[in-house]
Structure 1
Amino acid sequence: MTSEQSIDDIIAQGMRDQIKWLRDHMARGLPRVGWKIGITDAVAQAKWGLTGPAVGALAGNCAFESGADVPVRAGAIIRGEAEISIRMREDVPEGCTLRQARAAIVTLGPAIELIDISKPGGDLATILSHSIFHAGVVFGDEFPPDTLQKVEDYWPRAFRNGKAVRQPEPALIPEDLGALVMLVANLLPRYGEGLKAGDRIISGSFVKPMIGEPGDSMRIDFGALGKVELRVVTKAS
């Protein structure tokens, strides 16, 4: 970052690199998965000069279903986050209303995102370029959107190796999932992308990240919205 760069310039640089990374993945035949909401903590946002969350892409080569062994590179410093996966019923245009964004949600489900905090983090453009430390995502079953109304305030609970280690942090819980859809739908077209039917958005973590080391199991219980679990393993060299 130079003194001449505005926050908009920095975000644009990082997002262009991120979208190139995504397209390179898809050009190799990897599936399109969707997007992530990141940097949801107010202190972290202030550190980087942000006024709200950032957006990252999900990698098709590290997206799994519940129960998977998730490989991570040797030396990675892994953390697990408890999130909600939001699937799109239809393409969501730039400039959509909140009502349209909510109506575009076809299913919700629990998810665990793995992040690798050993990735470079010295500047915001670099953080965006590697999709905000993204190292993997595991999805649980999907449910109709109105299921969320049955999820009580004390969910989710996060477990590591069978032991409860995290409870929800009120400051991290998104007030309206439709607003997250709007954020993604309005941001992506600036960089030649868009929010498409079938895309998933993971919401940002409801809990503080939990440690994950090779051999560890992680489980997230969202009550009425179901459970999702994984095991961290070291990627074969």
Structure 2
Amino acid sequence: MARVDQTLERVAEELWQAQVNVPFAPIAPVRDTIVSLGGDAIANAYRVQQINTRRREGAGRRVVGRKVGLTSKSVQAQLGVDQPDFGALFDDMAFVDGQEIPLHLTQQPKVEAEIALVLEHDLGWERHTLVDVLNATAYALPAIEVVGSRIANWDIRLVDTVADNASSGLFVLGSRPVKLGDFDPVNCGMLMESRGDQVSSGIGAACLGHPLNAAIWLADTMVRYGTPLRAGDVILTGALGPMVAVRPGDVMTAQIEGLGSVRAVFATEE
């Protein structure tokens, strides 16, 4: 057991250094190292994620919510999985609509448009229903997640992305709250543009058939891991369309029907 713990600590340290080093130096995939330990590789990957979550909290950062990843059936098929994964969102990952994002805070950045939920009540049941999530949600916001990978060339499988905090990077939230009953989360269309050129499109149903399915899965999963979702938490429910790579100076605008728009503005230089 000591060998397993030491190895997971070493993997977490490698990912941490890749996260904080400037200039950015990505690392090789970590999946083979974790799988070689035997046992439940996914559980061990989440242990790596938790090590670095505690490290960030120890450095003064605050968990402000969770993201759901792998909500696209095509991406699940690509990675050979049949369920999503999750990662932690921290206060220093949050950007305001239109606020410039320094490139040195990103790692191989890509963007995707999502529906964000903000909770008004805790979700602490062992098994949650749609009504539980509806009643617990204060409002929704349009969001752009700036995903990132500490793994070189995005050469990832499920174990890699779980260990790497579900390939989290940063996130940008719109500023106009909308009640869930005031738009259609399933049939809402999404259009993302880069300075007027369409780069991605999709629909709410692309996220596990319904973005609230992702929220239900997350609520149940976080209870099993002993860290239930709490009032005030932000939930990034998952991508509504394909990810798009980011270049210096990009301005990405996502418009979600009935929910409004949000912009991610990237600096022109490192």
Change (3 A) 1:59 1:71: farther
| Unaligned 5+ runs, structure 2 | 1-31
**Aligned match of 1:97:** 129
What TM-score, normalized to structure 1? 0.86
1:49-81 C-alpha deviation (Å, 9 max, x unpaired): 422211111232221111111123389422110
Aligned with 1:13: secondary structure?
helix
Which is greater in Rg?
2
| Correspondent of 2:183 among 148, 151, 155 | 148
**Aligned match of 1:109:** 141
Matched to 1:114, the amino acid is V
Aligned with 1:85: secondary structure?
strand
Deviation at 1:177, TM superposition (A): 3.3
1:45 equivalent in alignment to 2:71: no
Change (3 A) 1:201 1:88: same
Change (3 A) 1:74 1:27: closer
**Aligned match of 1:79:** 110
**Aligned match of 1:207:** 241
Q: Write the mapping of 1:1-237 to structure 2, written as runs, cut at 5 A.
A: 1=32, 2=35, 5=38, 9-73=40-104, 76-93=107-124, 94-117=126-149, 119-120=151-152, 121-141=155-175, 142-149=177-184, 153=187, 155-168=189-202, 172-233=206-267
Change (3 A) 1:168 1:77: same
| Unaligned 5+ runs, structure 1 | none
Task: Give the distance between the partners of 1:55 and 1:228, measured in 2 at CA.
Answer: 23
Change (3 A) 1:109 1:117: same
Greater relative contact order structure (CA < 8 Å, 6+ sep): 1
Deviation at 1:85, TM superposition (A): 0.4
Matched to 2:131, the amino acid is R
Matched to 1:190, the amino acid is R
Deviation at 1:3, TM superposition (A): 7.6
Higher helix share: 2
Percent of pairs identical after alignment? 26
Task: Give the distance between the partners of 1:203 and 1:32, measured in 2 at CA.
Answer: 16
Change (3 A) 1:18 1:148: farther
Change (3 A) 1:147 1:171: closer
**Contact residue 168 and residue 206 of structure 1 kept, 8 A:** yes
What TM-score, normalized to structure 2? 0.76
Compute the RMSD of aligned alpha carbons.
2.6
Aligned with 1:184: secondary structure?
helix
**Contact residue 189 and residue 204 of structure 2 kept, 8 A:** no
Deviation at 1:174, TM superposition (A): 3.8
Task: Give the distance between the partners of 1:102 and 1:157, measured in 2 at CA.
Answer: 25
Change (3 A) 1:76 1:67: same
